[in-house]
C-alpha cells in the first residue's frame, strides 16, 4: 500500500470550497473512487497554521495509482484547474510506502 501526500496553503476566502473538494467524500475522492485500487483520502489541517492542509491519498500500490492517473488524465487535469483557485500554493511531499 502507498500513500500520496500533498501540502496546501489555502486562500482565506476559499477554505470552505477547499475542504469540500479535498475531504474524504469530496470531488477528488469521488474521482479516485473510479479505481478499485483507491483506498481513501485523509484531509488534515494544521492547528497552528490553520490555512495549511495535508492530504493523504491511499492506494493499493504505485502501479495502480499511476495507471489511474494515465487513464483519467483529462478528468484529473480538469478538476485540478478548478481547484487551483482555492490555494496559494501546493506541493507534493512524496509517495510513501506503508511499512
pTM for the model: 0.94
Q: Which residues of the chain form beta strands (DSSP E)?
A: 2-10, 38-45, 52-59, 87-97
Question: Which tens digits make up the pLDDT trace of 3-37?
Answer: 999 999 999 999 999 999 999 999 999 999 999 99
The helix, strand and coil proportions of the chain, stated in percent and rounded to the nearest 5, come to 40, 35, 20
Average pLDDT in the chain: 98
Over residues 71-86, the mean pLDDT reads: 98
Determine which helix (DSSP H) or strand (DSSP E) holds 80, and give its type and residue range.
Answer: helix 73-83
Q: Of 41, 37, 35, 3, which is closest to residue 22 (Cα–Cα)?
A: 41
pLDDT at 41: 98
> Which residue segments constitute the domains of the chain, with CATH numbers given?
2-97 (3.30.70.100)
Q: Is 74 exposed, middle or buried (0-12, 13-18, 19+ CB in 10 A)?
A: exposed
pLDDT at 30: 98
Question: Which tens digits make up the pLDDT trace of 41-60?
Answer: 999 999 999 999 999 999 99
Amino acid at each position: 500500500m502507498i500513500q500520496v501526500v500533498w501540502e496546501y496553503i489555502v486562500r482565506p476566502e476559499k477554505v470552505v470550497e477547499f475542504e469540500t473538494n479535498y475531504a474524504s467524500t469530496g470531488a477528488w475522492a469521488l474521482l479516485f473512487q473510479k479505481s478499485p485500487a483507491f483506498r481513501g483520502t485523509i484531509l488534515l489541517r494544521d492547528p497552528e497554521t490553520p490555512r495549511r492542509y495535508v492530504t493523504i491519498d491511499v492506494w493499493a500500490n504505485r502501479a495502480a495509482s499511476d495507471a489511474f492517473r494515465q487513464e483519467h488524465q483529462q478528468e484529473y487535469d480538469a478538476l485540478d484547474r478548478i481547484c487551483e483557485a482555492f490555494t496559494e500554493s501546493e506541493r507534493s511531499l512524496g509517495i510513501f510506502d506503508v511499512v
